């Protein structure tokens, strides 16, 4: 067969067989992650996204699923720390180890802190927990792109300026929605309310139903 025609047929076949591969990550369509559906994929997810991650087994599957939305976080160092007391039920930041300050952005370590026994996380569905971790990873995705000095400056502003904090968290929710967590937030909103979640999902092209 003519080589040119073979190539065309091959391309057409790819489009027909893998229509989703052409979609951007923004179109992530998992509305409801269930533990049952994903527990057999744990080993595969570990191989793909578990490099340089220390995650307690209880949250490993939820975290690996959430990381699968952020391909650029695949190789970051990430560690979960369960603390007796934490200011927030769950939060994320780069490690304060001085070594971390001088490490290249690529090699920084990021921490997710969770308060021991926190009902905010533990009383959620599996899908809701994937969403909560998706929000924390949106913070990390942002931190990954900024310098250590800016991290410190913004960290201080975050603790002192309520308006900055509110905007910072709302922007983080929006970023997570861009990475496909809108459905999870609709089930369990983090900072922005369901109306705003829907509005933002529609704005960036999610095919969600609206009432007329």
Binding site for Zn ion (CB under 5 A): 169, 172
For residues 76 and 52, the answer to whether their CB atoms sit within 8 Å is yes
Q: Which is nearer to Zn ion, 68 or 172 (CB)?
A: 172
**Helix or strand holding residue 83 (H, E):** strand 77-83
| Closest separation in Å from C-beta 136 to Zn ion | 7
3-state secondary structure of 2: coil
| Closest separation in Å from C-beta 19 to Zn ion | 34
The angle formed by the CA atoms of residues 162, 168 and 172, to the nearest 5 degrees, is 145
Cβ-count burial 50-75 (b if 16+ within 10 Å, e if not):
beebebeeebbbbbbbbbbbbeebee
Q: Following CA atoms 115, 45, 67, 90 in sequence, which dihedral angle do they give, to the nearest 10 degrees?
A: 0
Q: Which is nearer to Zn ion, 141 or 172 (CB)?
A: 172
Q: Which is nearer to Zn ion, 53 or 139 (CB)?
A: 139
Q: Which is nearer to Zn ion, 48 or 170 (CB)?
A: 170
Q: Which is nearer to Zn ion, 172 or 184 (CB)?
A: 172
Q: Which is nearer to Zn ion, 38 or 76 (CB)?
A: 76
| Closest separation in Å from C-beta 192 to Zn ion | 11
| Closest separation in Å from C-beta 10 to Zn ion | 45
| Closest separation in Å from C-beta 111 to Zn ion | 14
Four-residue CA torsion sign, 87, 61, 74, 198: negative
Cβ-count burial 11-44 (b if 16+ within 10 Å, e if not):
eeeeeeeeeeeeeeeeebebeebeeeebeeebee
3-state secondary structure of 7: helix
For residues 204 and 177, the answer to whether their CB atoms sit within 8 Å is yes
| Closest separation in Å from C-beta 62 to Zn ion | 16
């Amino acid at each position: 067969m003519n080589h040119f025609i073979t190539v065309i047929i091959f391309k057409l076949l790819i489009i027909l067989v893998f229509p989703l591969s052409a979609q951007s990550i923004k179109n992530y369509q998992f509305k409801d992650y269930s533990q049952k559906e994903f527990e057999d994929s744990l080993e595969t997810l570990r191989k793909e996204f578990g490099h340089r991650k220390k995650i307690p087994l209880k949250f490993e599957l939820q975290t690996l699923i959430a990381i699968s939305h952020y391909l650029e976080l695949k190789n970051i160092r990430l560690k979960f720390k369960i603390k007796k007391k934490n200011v927030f039920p769950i939060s994320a930041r780069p490690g304060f180890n001085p070594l971390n300050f001088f490490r290249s952005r690529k090699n920084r370590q990021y921490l997710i802190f969770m308060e021991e026994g926190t009902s905010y996380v533990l009383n959620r569905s599996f899908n809701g927990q994937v969403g909560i971790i998706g929000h924390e990873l949106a913070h990390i995705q942002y931190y990954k792109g900024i310098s250590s000095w800016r991290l410190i400056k913004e960290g201080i502003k975050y603790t002192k300026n309520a308006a900055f904090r509110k905007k910072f968290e709302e922007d983080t929710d929006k970023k997570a929605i861009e990475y496909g967590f809108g459905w999870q937030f609709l089930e369990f909103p983090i900072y922005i309310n369901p109306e705003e979640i829907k509005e933002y999902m529609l704005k960036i092209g999610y095919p969600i139903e609206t009432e007329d």
